[in-house]
Amino acid sequence: MKTIYVSNQKNTAADFRTVTDAISSIPVSNTEPVTISIAPGIYHEKLTIDRPYLTLIGGGADSCETVLTYDDYALELMPDGMKRGTFRSYSVFIDTHDVTLKNLTIENASGDSATHGQAIALYADGDRLFFDHIRLLGHQDTLFTGPLPPKEKEPNGFIGPKQFAPRINGRQYYKDCYICGDVDFIFGSATAYFEHCTIESLARFKKEDSLGPDGNAKIQGYVTAASTAEGQKYGYVFSECRLISSDCTDASVYLGRPWREFAKTIFLHCEFGPHIHPERFHDWNKKEAHDTIFYAEYENVPAPLTPASFVTELTPDLEKEYTKSAVLSGTDGWLLD
C-alpha cells in the first residue's frame, strides 16, 4: 500500500505541504489503496476528494490535532451577485467511492447560522464511505450525506458540484465520531449508520432569549433532516449514540424533521439529554408526510413519554432489521470481513 506524507510545517519532512497537492498526485482512475498521512496542524484548504480507494489519516493522539478547515457559507455573495448557497459552502467534498477518513477534524469555521446561513463542513457523496474518530464542526447543515433529492423546491437551490449529477444512493458509516450543529446539521439522502457517536446540539438563542412569550422553550434546532428517496430501504440509523447539549434549553431540540416526504430516521439504544423534545420528531408542518415518513426508536434513554403520533416504537423483531450489517452490507458484503 502506498503512503503519502503531508505536513504544513516547513521543518518537517513530507511529500507535500498541502492535502490538495497530495490528492492531486494520485490518478483520478486510481485502483490501488493509497493512504495520505497528515501531520498535526491546521490546514486551511477547500478540499475535493475524488480519487477512490483513498484513506486520509490525521496525526497525533486524537482527532483534535489535525484540522481541515474552511469558511465558505450560504449567504456569502459571489462575484456574479448570487449567494453562494448551501451546496457550494463545503469545507471537504467527497465525490467518489471507497474512501476512509480517520482521526481528523473537519470544520466549517464561517460562524453562526443566524448571520451566515447554511455552512457545510463535510459533503459526502459516494458508496462505502467510512469515518472513524472524525470531528465535524459547524452550525447549520454541518454534515450533508448526498445524494441530493431528485428536485429542488426553490430555483437555484441545488447550485453546486452535483446539481445535475445522477442521484445514486451510497452507504456511509460513522464510528466514534463527534458531530455538532444547530439546525438540520445531519441531512441528506444517503444510507448512513452512526455508531457510538456523540451528537451535540448548539444553541441559536442566548439563555435570556430562549423562552417564547408563552413561557415555552424556543426551538433551538433539529438534529437531522433526512431526504431518503422513495423506495429506499434505509435512511439514517443511530446506534448507541449520545445526544448532548451544554447550552440548549430543555425540550428545545427535535431529533429530526423530514426534508423530503420519505425521510427515514431511527435511534436505537441511544442516550438523550434533556434538550431533546418529548415529541422526539417534528413533521415540518407536512401533515401529508405522516403516511410516508418513517421515524422510529428502540430502547432509548429516557424512554419516550409523549412521542408524536407518527413516531414508531420498534419491536425486538423489527429492531433486528437495523443492525449495522443489515443496513450497510449490501450485495457486496461491505464491512462483514
List the single range of 4-8, 51-55, 314-318 with lowest mean pLDDT.
314-318
Task: Tell whether 110 is covered by a domain.
Answer: yes
Q: Is the pLDDT of residue 21 over 90?
A: yes
Instruction: State pLDDT tens for residues 175-213.
Output: 999 999 999 999 999 999 999 999 999 999 887 777 777
46-55 mean pLDDT = 98
Q: Is the pLDDT of residue 101 over 70?
A: yes
Over pLDDT 70: what percentage of the chain?
Answer: 99
Nearest to 206, CA basis, from 182, 228, 187, 185: 182
Q: Is the pLDDT of residue 62 over 90?
A: no
Parallel, antiparallel or unpaired: strands 264-268 and 171-175:
unpaired
Q: Is the pLDDT of residue 1 over 90?
A: no
3-state secondary structure of 152: coil
pLDDT band at 337 (very low <50, low <70, confident <90, very high): low
pLDDT band at 331 (very low <50, low <70, confident <90, very high): very high
- Give strand ranges (E) for 78-213: 92-95, 99-108, 122-125, 129-137, 143-145, 171-175, 178-181, 183-188, 191-195, 198-201
Task: Tell whether 274 is covered by a domain.
Answer: yes
Task: Tell whether 87 is covered by a domain.
Answer: yes
Instruction: State pLDDT tens for residues 269-288.
Output: 999 999 999 999 999 999 99
Rg (CA), the chain: 20
Q: Is the pLDDT of residue 310 over 80?
A: yes
Task: Tell whether 230 is covered by a domain.
Answer: yes
Q: With contact defined as beta carbons under 8 Å apart, do 142 and 136 qualify?
A: yes
* Straight-line distance from the first to the last Cα atom of the chain, in angstroms, rounded to the nearest whole number: 19
Tell me what pLDDT residue 205 has.
86
86-113 mean pLDDT = 97
d(CA 34, CA 56): 9
60-74 mean pLDDT = 93
User: How many domains is the chain partitioned into structurally?
Assistant: 1
Q: Is the pLDDT of residue 217 over 90?
A: no
Range of the structural domain that residue 269 is part of: 40-205+219-328
Q: Is the pLDDT of residue 146 over 90?
A: yes
Task: Tell whether 210 is covered by a domain.
Answer: no
Tell me what pLDDT residue 206 has.
80
98-113 mean pLDDT = 97
Rounded to whole angstroms, what are the CA distances from 273 to 3, 251, 284?
41, 9, 22
d(CA 61, CA 209): 39
Average model confidence (pLDDT) across the chain: 95
294-307 mean pLDDT = 95
d(CA 143, CA 136): 7
Q: Let me know the angle formed at the C-alpha of 141 by 183 and 301, rounded to the nearest 5 degrees.
A: 55
Task: Tell whether 273 is covered by a domain.
Answer: yes
Tell me what pLDDT residue 165 has.
97
Over pLDDT 90: what percentage of the chain?
Answer: 91
pTM: 0.97
List the single range of 144-148, 216-220, 239-243 with lowest mean pLDDT.
216-220
Cell of 219: 426551538
Q: Is the pLDDT of residue 264 over 80?
A: yes
Nearest to 143, CA basis, from 109, 173, 120, 163: 120
Q: With contact defined as beta carbons under 8 Å apart, do 95 and 54 qualify?
A: no
Q: Is the pLDDT of residue 323 over 70?
A: yes
Q: Is the pLDDT of residue 48 over 70?
A: yes
Instruction: State pLDDT tens for residues 111-131.
Output: 999 999 999 999 999 999 999
Task: Tell whether 24 is covered by a domain.
Answer: no
* CATH code, 322: 2.160.20.10
